Amino acid sequence: MAQHTFHIPVMGTAFTVDTPLRIAKYGIASVISIVDDDLLERMRAYWAHRRGRAYAPIEKDLKADSRARRTAAYLDLVDELVREDFEALRAAPLEPGSELWRYLELLPDEAPAHRLWRDWLAAGPEKRPELEARLRAALEPGRLEVNVMTKVDKPNYVGREQLPVEYNDAHAALRGFAESRMEGALVLSAGFNARLYSYMARFAGFFADEAGRIKKQITLKVSDYRSALTQGKFLAKKGLWVSEYRVESGLNCGGHAFATPGLLIGPILEEFHQKKEELIASLFEVYKKALEKLGKPVPERPPEVRLTAQGGVGTAGEHAMLRARYGLDSVGWGSPFLLVPEVTVVDEQTRKGLSDAGEEDLYLSGASPLGVPFNVLRNASMVALNRKWYEEGKPGSPCPKGHLEFDTEFTERPICTASRNYQYRKIKQLRERGLPPAELEREIDKLLEKQCLCTGLAEPAHLEFNVEPQMKETGVSICPGPNLAYFSGERTLEEMVGHIYGRTTVTNDAERPHMFVKELRLYADYLRRVLAGEFGTDRDRTPEAVAAFRANLAAGARYYLERLEELGLGPWKEELESFAAQPA
């Protein structure tokens, strides 16, 4: 049973790349991105040397399955070191100043181990040994989780030869986790990939064993109930059970923002809360039939299903409200932990920029080569580098990693829109169109907004651990959510965890709206930018689509108005009434 009621979601590629090595021993769950095997290999070398482990490099050789092998090797090392650190903590003296004492001090009051600790503190000498034994037995490390963006499944080539689909980026990363010794959860995000989901059924670890235990659990990051049902049913037909549905706000989040058509997280969580048992029951019937067909053990009862959420939570009150009102097992706290050096990998200059950032410095951009809106920090060093490259006559990144190569406008083989290969051609094309100077400048600025996220999101690890990057010249890309505007200054683990559980407050003096109100404002601004042509497609700008979007916003506002006090939304009543009254 999890001791904490929060988890730390995946952030970029480097920001949480070794977070489990820092805090899993304290019972805190976190997520590693496994998209960048080069970064994972460099981190394996660093941690192996730091902890006195043997290290044999796995050179990049796609035909030799280096991507999956590097991923598995790093996850094996993380698993080994976390277990070692946790057992050392469990055996530590039960006294102030010890790692065990720190573990217990960080826990929420309702945690089973915290209750045992209180009993131990209150007990006499004759009862303490038995209580201490029970306390140590109750301790657990934080769950180890890895993330695969399902649509970042680029085909790979050796020369001109395209390798089989098993060597695609997402397939190979998934295989690395499947073949590692790590037990934990695979967090699937960024949409439905039927081919990848079917591929999972090749690995025994994703299936329940004779005792009903699933060593490698599946977590789906979803934006609404319908998506959860569709994807859950597809996997159930393969004999695969989804152990967790992780609901994320479409816009009030870090990184890529997969906006809904105006559907807000409050009503979405309400639907999950109301239909959770129905979802489990319907999927269990499909799951049982699939297991029977496969000749695998069929459980009498559905396996565990957790419901969690993340995106924009910023106060202990919101944290408690989400858990109590919607029955959440855990709440994700991401961007605020970018200010905690003990937890995340962020270079000093970038962390200062995050600390100083206000609302206007955190914005939704077109920086992602995927064409999906992307939350960024204004004036991060990668922005200046893009401009420098352009002014030197060599626009775009050399693209050493190539994980986001999906564009075929100029080439038969996909390339990345942030790459030099693409941007040189695109700027030449724009100049040949004879556009008016102002329009040409706007188009070039829009192009230069694309960031080499593969290198930019990995750069903080190179800077923090003094590891040589793949390019001689690179900058940092950082992708915090809008919620970070209300947090400032470097924080300790104790301070941030204390803030989550209401023991202290670390938000700054900026006027912060309730997370539900903030998301509503973000969606209203997003619709404005869709209508202005900044985001979305022509279909999104049709009268029917716009009317449906506005109707969803109004319905969400009415939902909040009906539950003002219960959700803590009283101070924003007039604003919600204004949204609820808006015509489609």
Kindly state the average pLDDT of the residues 211-235: 96
Q: What is the structure's pLDDT at 582?
A: 79
Parallel, antiparallel or unpaired: strands 157-158 and 161-162: antiparallel
The amino acid at residue 383 is V
Question: Using 50, 70 and 90 to split pLDDT, how confident is the model at 474?
Answer: confident
What confidence tens digit (pLDDT) does each residue in 340-395 have?
999 999 999 999 999 999 999 999 999 999 999 999 999 899 999 999 999 999 99
Distances 115 to 93, 107, 110, 384 between C-alpha atoms, Å: 18, 10, 7, 52
In the chain, count H helices and then E strands.
22, 12
What mean pLDDT is predicted for residues 234-262?
97
Tell me the helix, strand and coil percentages in the chain, rounded to 5.
Answer: 50, 10, 40
pLDDT of residue 139: 98
Q: What is the mean pLDDT of residues 47-58?
A: 97
Residues 184-221: pLDDT tens digits? Answer: 999 999 999 999 999 999 999 999 998 899 999 999 99
What is the predicted pLDDT for the residue at 469? 77
What mean pLDDT comes out for the span 96-120? 97
CA distances from 100 to 79, 87, 139, 387, 420 (A): 20, 10, 10, 50, 51
Which positions ≥6 away from 426 have C-beta within 8 Å?
A: 409, 410, 417, 447
Instruction: Give the H/E segment covering residue 187.
Output: strand 184-189
Decide if pLDDT at 584 tops 70: no
Residue 399 and residue 167: Cα distance in Å, rounded?
A: 19
DSSP assignment of 438-455 equals: HHHHHHHHHHHT---HHH
How many residues in total does the chain contain?
Answer: 584
> What pTM, to 2 d.p., does this model score?
0.96
Least trusted range by pLDDT, from 279-283, 508-512, 536-540: 508-512
Q: What tokens appear for 149 in the block?
A: 């963006």
| Gap between the Cα atoms of 63 and 20, Å rounded | 30
Please, are residues 157 and 413 in contact by the beta-carbon 8 Å criterion?
A: yes
Q: What is the mean pLDDT of residues 462-491?
A: 91
| pLDDT number for residue 583 | 67
Cα gap 390→400, rounded to integer Å: 18
For residue range 410-457, list pLDDT tens digits in order.
999 999 999 999 999 999 999 999 999 999 999 999 999 999 999 999
pLDDT of residue 436: 95
Q: Residue 581 and residue 575: Cα distance in Å, rounded?
A: 10
